[in-house]
Amino acid sequence: MSQGIRKGAVFLCRHFHQSCVNAEFFESLQRRIYVTPTSYLELIKTFKRLLESKRLELLTNRNRYLTGLEKLDFASAQVSYYTDIHHSVIAQIRRDFISNPDFEPAVIKNVSSACEGLCSWVRAIEVYDKVTKVCKTNLFERQAKQQLGGTEVEGKVKLVNIRNLTCKNNFHRLKLGRAEKLMSGLGGERERWMQISQQLDDTYQNIVGDMLLSAGVVAYLGPFTPQFRQEVLKDWQDMCKRKEIPVSPTFSLSTTLGDAVTIMEWQVHGLPRDMFSVENAIIITSARRWPLMIDPQGQANKWIKSMEKSHSRYSFQNKSCHLVSSSFEK
C-alpha cells in the first residue's frame, strides 16, 4: 500500500465514523444510530483482517488459474509435437539417448525426479514414432504374406509379432485421438480461465477500497434500512474516488465478501432471498461482535435455528432466540 493510499484510507475511516450520525435517518424513522469509539476500533480491526484474508484468497485463486493455464498450454504443445515430429529429431533421440543404457527413468530418478519425467517423455516420443509413423498396418500385412514362403512356423511368428505391433499402433492412435479431442474441448475452458484470471487481477488492484468499504458496512451500516444504507455507501464510494483510493466501479458487499455456494446454503436454511437479507447475513458472519437482530417476522430466528440445528448449540425461550454458542463466533 503506497503512502498516498494509506493517508487516504485514514481520512476515509474518519469520514465513515462521522457520516453515520445521520439526522435524516432519525427524522424519517425516529431511530438513533449511536456511534462510539468501539465502532471505530471495530472498523480498523475489521479492515485489517479482511484485507489480509482477501489478499491471500485472491492471490491463491489467481495462481491456481495461471498454473492451470500453463499446464493446459504445455499439454497442447505436447499433443501438437506428437502429431508433427521431424525425422531428424527422432534420429538424434535414437542416436544420442535411446541407445544410452543410462537413459532410463529408473536410473535418472536417483539423480532428479524432474529429469525422470523428461526421460519418460522422450522415450514416449520415440515409441510413438516407431509404432505410429513407421509401422503402417497394411505394409506389415503384405510383408508377412510375402515372407510366409519360408517355414510355416517362422511365418506365423512374424505374423504374430506384426499383429502385436499393429495393436500397439492402434492403441497409440486411440490415445492421441482422445488427447486431441480433450484439448479441443478445453479450448473454450482456456478462454474462461483467462477471463477469470484477469478478473481476479483487477479485483486485487481494487482490494484496498473494496475492503475499506466492506469494513465500513460491517462496522456501521447494520442498523440502516436498505435506502439509507445505499445512500451512505454511495457517499463513501465517491469519497474513495476523490481520494484516489482504488475501488471497484460497482461495489457490492455480496460480491466482495459473499460466496455463491455459502449464500445458497443460507437460503436453503431459510434466509430470505432479497439482497438486503443476504447483506445482513454477511455482516453477521464477518463481524467480530455478537449481532442484535430486530426480527419481528421471525425470519432470522428460523434461519439460525435451521443453520445451527446440527450443532445443538442453541436454546430458545418464548420464541426468542438466545444463542448459547454459535458457529458464527470468531
Ranges in the chain, pLDDT < 70: 22-23, 72, 74-87, 114, 130-190, 311-330
What pLDDT sits at residue 323? 40
What pLDDT sits at residue 282? 93
Instruction: Record the cell numbers describing residue 110, joined without a space.
Output: 536417483
What pLDDT sits at residue 32? 77
Residue 186 buriedness (CB in 10 A; 0-12 / 13-18 / 19+): middle
Q: How far apart, in whole angstroms, are the C-alpha atoms of residue 154 and residue 8?
A: 89
What pLDDT sits at residue 330? 37
What pLDDT sits at residue 143? 56
What pLDDT sits at residue 179? 60
Q: Alpha carbon of 56 to those of 43, 206, 293: distances in Å?
A: 20, 14, 31
C-alpha closest to that of 160 among 172, 144, 171, 139: 144
pTM: 0.62
What pLDDT sits at residue 103? 86
What pLDDT sits at residue 280? 92
Helix (H, G, I), strand (E, B) or coil at 86: coil
> In the chain, what are the domain boundaries?
79-203, 258-330
Instruction: Record the cell numbers describing residue 115, joined without a space.
Output: 529429469
Q: Alpha carbon of 35 to those of 18, 20, 41, 43: distances in Å?
A: 8, 7, 11, 11
Amino acid at 23: A
The pLDDT tens digits of the residues spanning 210-229 come to 999 999 999 988 888 888 88
